[in-house]
A and B are shown apart, each in its own frame.
Chain A
Amino acid sequence: MAHTEPRFHVPAPHVRPGDTPDFSHIAIPPAGEAKRPATDVAGMETRDLALGLVRVLDHNHQAVGEWDPKLDPDVLREGLRHMVLTRVYDDRMLKLQRQGKMSFYMKSTGEEAVAVAGAMAMQKSDMVFPSYRQQGILFARGRDIVDMMCHCISNSRDNLKGRQLPVHYTWAEGNFFSISGNLATQLPQAVGYAMACEYRGDGEIAATWIGDGSTAEGDFHGALVLASTYRAPVIVNVVNNQWAISTFQGIAAGDAPTFAYKGMGYGLASLRIDGNDFLAVYAATKWAAERARAGHGATVIEHFTYRADAHSTSDDPSGYRPKGENEIWPLGDPVERLKQHLIGLGEWDEERHAALEKELNEMVIASYKEAESHGTLHDGPLSPVESIFEDVYAEPDWRLRRQRQDLGV
């Protein structure tokens, strides 16, 4: 007989499909309230920031408080452009996936500020170790869109020779590390890379991104031990978008009050910030980057956000969460908020925004046409078949040479 009451505690979201979306249980402190400590503050002194929520843009879309990075309107417009491009690109790629043009796709809708503002607040020479939902970094760093698409459709110009699932980008030239797909493995790697930066003394740092669900992996905890022990110049971004495929964040969080608070156990500076607030993400990343570059060690940043769309094209969220949650997310939409902030400053308007969307949409469509001219996964041309035996080792050994002959290529 089924038990109505579980015999041990299993956390569950308080609403499920069919229920009315409701985030009233989430406490949202006022924007501008959080203190901004000096970047050399002892990690444990950030406890209030790990439990609070750094917000810069208030409900009137005005920048307030100590964390306001006071960015030039040109920088804000650049950030808006990268975020809009990320969204336009994602929407177009989803359509193309639905048309059978690629095997798989993952959007970052609602999380554009996390990647774009984070990338813009770092130096382009800093290595990033992303997870699979930070394509915004690539736009912020100026990667060629045709190249990105060629990777996603695994054609002859795919810089990964058709070896990776779509969206698992690598771009060494842009200091964008190889995305694994296995979760959390990039964390200790980012710390090791950051230690090597210190060893080289080149002033570079590293940053990495992980989802709320993946913080349960041992690699997250191992990385924080390393980052703390060796005081590595690394930024550990936890993107808490509330959902790990169908699993709500409480399964990974347990009774921890926030994901940022987990950093406290390792003595690391830890900030919980509004991930849908471009200015908050920018300011927090800038703070952490300065701290790292000055030799004061790592920072854990929890980006409190909401995955507004499905996990991937293989996922249907209607099976586990109410429809319409994204529309009532209490921290709004990152693109809309930055747009309104710029409009409030008198530095933007609806017409320019519509023109920007049109321009980027046309560019993305044109880029896809060009990408397709280099082949598609279904119709080719692909990278040469013999390339499957390349890059396993620096030089193929006798086994690979023989096996290539066996395949007849």
Chain B
Amino acid sequence: MPNRTGACVASVRIWEFKIMAKMNMIQALNSALDNMMERDPDVISFGEDAGYFGGVFRVTANLQSKYGLDRSFDAPINEAAIMGMAIGMAAKGLKPVAEIQFSDYIFPGLDQIVSEMSRLRYRSAGQFTAPVVVRAPCGGGIRGGQTHSMSPEAFFTQVPGVQVVMPSNPYDAKGLLIAAIESPDPVIFFEPKRLYNGPFEGHSGGALSSWGKHPKGEVPEEHYSLPIGKAEVVREGSAVTIIAYGTLVLVAQAAAEKAGIDAEVIDLKTLVPYDLETIARSVNKTGRCIVAQEAPRTSGFAAELAAQVQEECFYALEAPIQRVTGWDTPYPHAHEWAYFPGPDRFINAMNAVLEA
């Protein structure tokens, strides 16, 4: 465990009182749902194939047999209906956790999220709320082609009223999913599916590694939560700040190791509201900044981060901010590794900001 962050405080306590287990991200998310469904009868889970079968990625496995059909059930293939149903349930006081099978499929439900879920509190002046959690596996690197690889997080960061979260490891995934379920606001919870079964450093041909050997694969079996809106410095450095979230957090760390560059890597974890304090502290220290996202470049969340960093830290900056992103193309199938922002693209960006 890193030992300078909020997570560390939690982990010390955990070591003392809680049973730790090795979990991959799927197991950690399942454990979060299990804990919450056990504690709170208002928590229910549903989605396409998410009931009896436990989800195509198995995140909701065994919840139906443990908690019953009415708490973990299969939904018809209609994302708008799934979102609308969740809003209605939340308005009655339930805590629905709705799975969108792939984040690429979230768009039929977009109207319900953008026009309804996000604004219900506002437009009713607090008389009704819709604290739904929308779980959506995202990102590429799994040979998913253009319909199973998207990172659509930026769309949701344009929507006042929702929080947007994307963890990068099992420990954070569980703590943040529990926080999302406990949040009074709707949360769009993106799960980088390339990280479901193991950490990924961006080398397409490399052997699969396991979360079992990674410190963040040590996950308490019991309930805990991590604060939404808090980033974490996962690699300390003084030469350049890399701001990333999801899969690219691990890729950025690996790239810094490979290049031997003293880069500081921030795992953003929450996109809305993002942790400007941690970002500004780091960039003011390093004077150089790279922002990263797997999504296409134009109007991505990295653009927002770059704009905010130059507003906050302009006089500390010694080089133009660089972006490491996907291309402005759909996610290709055969050439997915030419699309994926791997370690070499990070190294090029680091060299560019360090040379500037």
Q: A-contacting residues of B (Cβ < 8 Å)? A: 44, 70, 76, 78, 80-81, 83-94, 96, 108, 111-112, 115-116, 120-129, 160-161, 163, 183-185, 229, 272-273, 276
B123 close to A163 (CB less than 8 A): yes
How far apart sit A195 and B163, CA to CA, in the bound complex (Å)?
Answer: 26
Closest to A197 in B: B92
B115 close to A394 (CB less than 8 A): no
How far apart sit A164 and B121, CA to CA, in the bound complex (Å)?
Answer: 12
A225 close to B125 (CB less than 8 A): no
A3 at interface, CB cutoff 8 A: no
Q: B-contacting residues of A (Cβ < 8 Å)? A: 127, 129, 159-161, 163-164, 168, 170-172, 177-178, 180, 182, 185, 187-197, 199-200, 206, 218-219, 221-223, 225-226, 229, 390-394, 397-399
Q: Which residues of A contact B87 (CB under 8 A)?
A: 188-189, 192
Which of A163, A164, A222, A399 has the largest number of chain B CB atoms within 10 A?
A222
How far apart sit A192 and B85, CA to CA, in the bound complex (Å)?
Answer: 4
Not counting A182-B116, A392-B160, a sample of 16 additional A-B residue pairs whose C-beta atoms are within 8 angstroms of each other reads: A168-B123, A187-B84, A188-B85, A189-B88, A190-B88, A191-B88, A192-B87, A199-B70, A200-B92, A219-B81, A222-B76, A222-B80, A225-B78, A226-B85, A392-B121, A392-B122
Closest to B44 in A: A199
Contact of A170 among B115, B128, B163 (CB under 8 A): B128
Cβ of A242 to closest chain B Cβ, rounded Å: 26
Cβ of A340 to closest chain B Cβ, rounded Å: 39
Q: Known contacts A226-B81, A397-B229: does B94 contact A178 (CB below 8 Å)?
A: no
How far apart sit A219 and B108, CA to CA, in the bound complex (Å)?
Answer: 10
B122 close to A193 (CB less than 8 A): no
Which of B70, B89, B112, B184 has the largest number of chain A CB atoms within 10 A?
B89
How far apart sit A206 and B92, CA to CA, in the bound complex (Å)?
Answer: 11
How far apart sit A172 and B91, CA to CA, in the bound complex (Å)?
Answer: 10
7 example contacts (A-B, Cβ-Cβ < 8 A) are as follows A160-B125, A180-B116, A185-B111, A196-B93, A225-B78, A393-B161, A393-B184
Q: Which residues of B contact A180 (CB under 8 A)?
A: 115-116, 123
A199 close to B81 (CB less than 8 A): no
Q: Which residues of A contact B94 (CB under 8 A)?
A: 196, 199
How far apart sit A163 and B161, CA to CA, in the bound complex (Å)?
Answer: 14
How far apart sit A182 and B96, CA to CA, in the bound complex (Å)?
Answer: 23
A189 close to B85 (CB less than 8 A): yes
Q: Known contacts A193-B92, A397-B229: does B128 contact A188 (CB below 8 Å)?
A: no
How far apart sit A178 and B123, CA to CA, in the bound complex (Å)?
Answer: 7
Q: Which residues of A contact B129 (CB under 8 A)?
A: 394
Q: Known contacts A192-B86, A219-B80: does B123 contact A398 (CB below 8 Å)?
A: no
Q: Known contacts A180-B116, A195-B89, A398-B276: does B121 contact A189 (CB below 8 Å)?
A: no
B126 close to A223 (CB less than 8 A): no
How far apart sit A399 and B274, CA to CA, in the bound complex (Å)?
Answer: 9
A172 close to B127 (CB less than 8 A): yes
How far apart sit A225 and B74, CA to CA, in the bound complex (Å)?
Answer: 13
How far apart sit A193 and B120, CA to CA, in the bound complex (Å)?
Answer: 14
Closest to B228 in A: A397
Q: Known contacts A189-B116, A193-B92, A391-B122: does B276 contact A178 (CB below 8 Å)?
A: no
Which of B91, B112, B120, B184 has the largest number of chain A CB atoms within 10 A?
B91
Contact of A164 among B44, B123, B229 (CB under 8 A): B123
Q: Known contacts A159-B125, A197-B92: does B84 contact A223 (CB below 8 Å)?
A: yes
